[in-house]
């Protein structure tokens, strides 16, 4: 069995004898307080990356029989550098799991210094820290030091309350002279503070989180390793990688990369990516929006604050990418540039990795293109949506259908308020599917008239709230593959070539709450 959680005393013993990681026994984690689950159970619930069961607790501030107590673990922590002002204390009022945590007050330029009693970080992909902060900040850094080298993480975004800060320690392999088998210090600090900052720390762990994320569409696999993702299978370009770069932003890699250029007035636009028009300060965040048997949806947000440190809220300058992948190879991309408060943008150029169908709006028509250009943004916010498909006869038809998706006439249901329906015609260009809504009784009925040449495998999302199964019938035939989504809506495909007007009915028992 892989390691789940070990008291610190056991960790010291194992490190001293050089025990192989795979042979370490699971720990019961000590007795739980009345009404409280055992600590390993709490940790597994609080930290999704521990789902592999392969994680190691370095500090948890709990009282373990036969091991150091929560307060005793404070001796592993100090304020640095020498002479820096700050304080640390054991607290019971603000904890992530268990009964205790560490509270820190650090003056500007001061850091919390942790000297772990396990030094060999090999075989793990993440260093995980629970951090409680009272404000929204973008300047948390974690620094790791071995005997001969030091490495500082990208700036991490922390929100008010408890945060799980994940550091991808796979990057240590590329740091010259860094000895990942001999990590001596972990430093935690905020880079841009003018007054003392207070924060709490709980549950410092090493995690091997490499795993396929489930469920996924048939024939597709989404694997997460550290903080990076790899999507393979289906008819997608192989593989689709989403990896964090040197500036802390995640970018597509492998066979599929959308190159973007954003420049301000007077800045040159060359052949390579440039984000000069958005400024040098940047923080990235990736979210898995959907993962189900019908599709995979990922969001990749690049934040560009005007100044580092504390933020008022998340509504700041940003570029947000949303990717929607289907098993048949269609891949919808939505990109939004929000430059509110920034210097004027002179030009934007997005170069997808291949020819795509670019969605139009109510004012402009769509087209197939290998490049998207815009002189300025025409306002503080600009949006584009486009679709890639394989270069097969079926894929080319799906791409053509994205630009001309026929006419949909709803005879029963409610109006769908879908921000992704850019021209308000019942088709969500940002997700590559039709979108309608059921009425309060749980019914939706519509007729679809295809364009000349027909529709190939159209996909539908019906917004609603149901209890139990939802039935979908097309021309009297039952559609068996109906995928419920987390927001209560359902997704289904009319398979084959639709070359005549087709009537569809969706019914289900409405949710009572």
What does the angle CA 412 – CA 418 – CA 422 come to, to the nearest 5 degrees? 115
* β-strand pairing of 295-303 with 497-498: unpaired
Q: Is 99 exposed, middle or buried (0-12, 13-18, 19+ CB in 10 A)?
A: middle
Strand partners for 285 = 301
d(CA 230, CA 218): 16
> What is the radius of gyration, based on Cα positions, of the chain?
26
Q: Phi, psi (5° rounding) for residue 171?
A: -65, -20
Which residues lie below 8 Å from residue 334, measured CB to CB, with a gap of 6+?
Answer: 321, 322, 324, 383, 384, 385, 420, 429, 430, 431
Q: Comparing C-alpha atoms, which of 183, 190, 50 is closest to residue 131?
A: 190
pLDDT at 80: 95
* pTM for the whole structure: 0.88
pLDDT at 375: 87
Q: Tokens 């364009």 sit at which residue?
A: 451
Which stretches of the chain drop beneath a pLDDT of 50? 1-32
pLDDT at 22: 33
* CATH 2.60.40 boundaries in the chain: 407-510
Q: Comparing C-alpha atoms, which of 387, 381, 335, 382 is closest to residue 358?
A: 387
* CATH 2.60.120.430 boundaries in the chain: 8-207
197 is written with which tokens?
């900052």
Instruction: Indicate the Cα dihedral angle 425, 429, 433, 434, nearest 10°.
Output: -10
- How many residues belong to the chain? 513
- How would CATH label the architecture of 407-510? Sandwich (2.60)
- Secondary structure tally for the chain: helices H, strands E: 3, 40
Instruction: Indicate the Cα dihedral angle 193, 194, 198, 203, nearest 10°.
Output: 20
pLDDT at 255: 60
CATH of 8-207, one of 2.60.120.430, 2.40.50.140, 2.130.10.10, 3.40.50.2020: 2.60.120.430
Strand partners for 48 = none
């Amino acid at each position: 069995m892989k390691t789940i959680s070990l008291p610190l005393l056991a960790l010291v013993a194992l490190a001293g004898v050089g025990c192989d990681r795979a042979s370490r026994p699971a720990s019961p984690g000590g007795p739980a307080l009345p009404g409280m689950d055992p600590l390993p159970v709490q940790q597994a619930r609080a930290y999704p990356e521990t789902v592999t069961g392969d994680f190691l607790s370095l500090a948890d501030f709990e009282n373990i029989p036969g091991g150091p107590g929560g307060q005793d673990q404070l001796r592993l922590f100090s304020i640095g550098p020498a002479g820096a002002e700050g304080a640390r204390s054991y607290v019971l009022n603000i904890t992530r799991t268990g009964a205790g945590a560490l509270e820190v007050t650090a003056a500007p330029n001061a850091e919390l210094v942790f000297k772990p009693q396990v030094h060999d970080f090999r075989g793990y992909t993440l260093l995980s820290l629970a951090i409680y902060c009272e404000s929204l900040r973008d300047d948390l850094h974690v620094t790791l030091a071995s005997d001969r080298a030091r490495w500082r993480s990208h700036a991490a975004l922390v929100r008010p309350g408890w945060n799980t800060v994940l550091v991808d320690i796979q990057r240590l392999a590329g740091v010259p002279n860094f000895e990942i088998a001999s990590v001596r210090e972990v430093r935690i600090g905020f880079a841009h503070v003018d007054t003392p900052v207070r924060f709490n720390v709980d549950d410092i762990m090493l995690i091997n989180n490499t795993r396929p994320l489930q469920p996924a569409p048939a024939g597709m696999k989404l694997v997460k390793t550290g903080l990076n993702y790899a999507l393979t299978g289906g008819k997608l370009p192989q593989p689709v990688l989403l990896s964090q770069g040197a500036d802390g932003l995640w970018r597509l890699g492998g066979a599929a990369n959308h190159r973007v250029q954003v420049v301000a007035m007077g800045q040159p636009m060359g052949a390579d990516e440039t984000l000069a028009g958005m400024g040098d300060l940047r923080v990235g965040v990736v979210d898995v929006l959907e993962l189900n048997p019908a599709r995979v949806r990922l969001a990749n947000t690049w934040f560009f604050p005007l100044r580092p440190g504390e933020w008022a809220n998340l509504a700041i300058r940003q570029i947000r990418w949303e990717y929607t992948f289907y098993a048949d190879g269609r891949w919808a991309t939505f990109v939004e540039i929000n430059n509110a408060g920034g210097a004027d943008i002179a030009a934007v150029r997005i170069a997808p990795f291949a020819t795509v169908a670019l969605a139009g709006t109510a004012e402009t028509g769509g087209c197939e293109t290998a490049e998207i250009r815009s002189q300025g943004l025409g306002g503080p916010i600009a949006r584009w949506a486009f679709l890639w498909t394989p270069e097969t006869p079926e894929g080319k038809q799906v791409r053509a259908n994205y630009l001309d998706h026929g006419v949909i006439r709803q005879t029963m249901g409610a109006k769908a308020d879908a921000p992704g329906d850019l021209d308000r015609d019942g088709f969500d260009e940002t997700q590559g599917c039709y979108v309608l809504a059921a009425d309060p009784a749980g019914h939706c009925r519509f007729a679809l008239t295809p364009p000349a040449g027909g529709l190939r495998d159209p996909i539908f999302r019906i917004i609603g709230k149901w209890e139990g199964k939802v039935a979908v019938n097309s021309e009297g035939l039952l559609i068996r593959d109906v995928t419920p989504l987390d927001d209560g809506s359902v997704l289904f495909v009319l398979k084959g070539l639709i070359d005549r007007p087709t009537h569809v009915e969706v019914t289900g028992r409405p949710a009572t709450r």
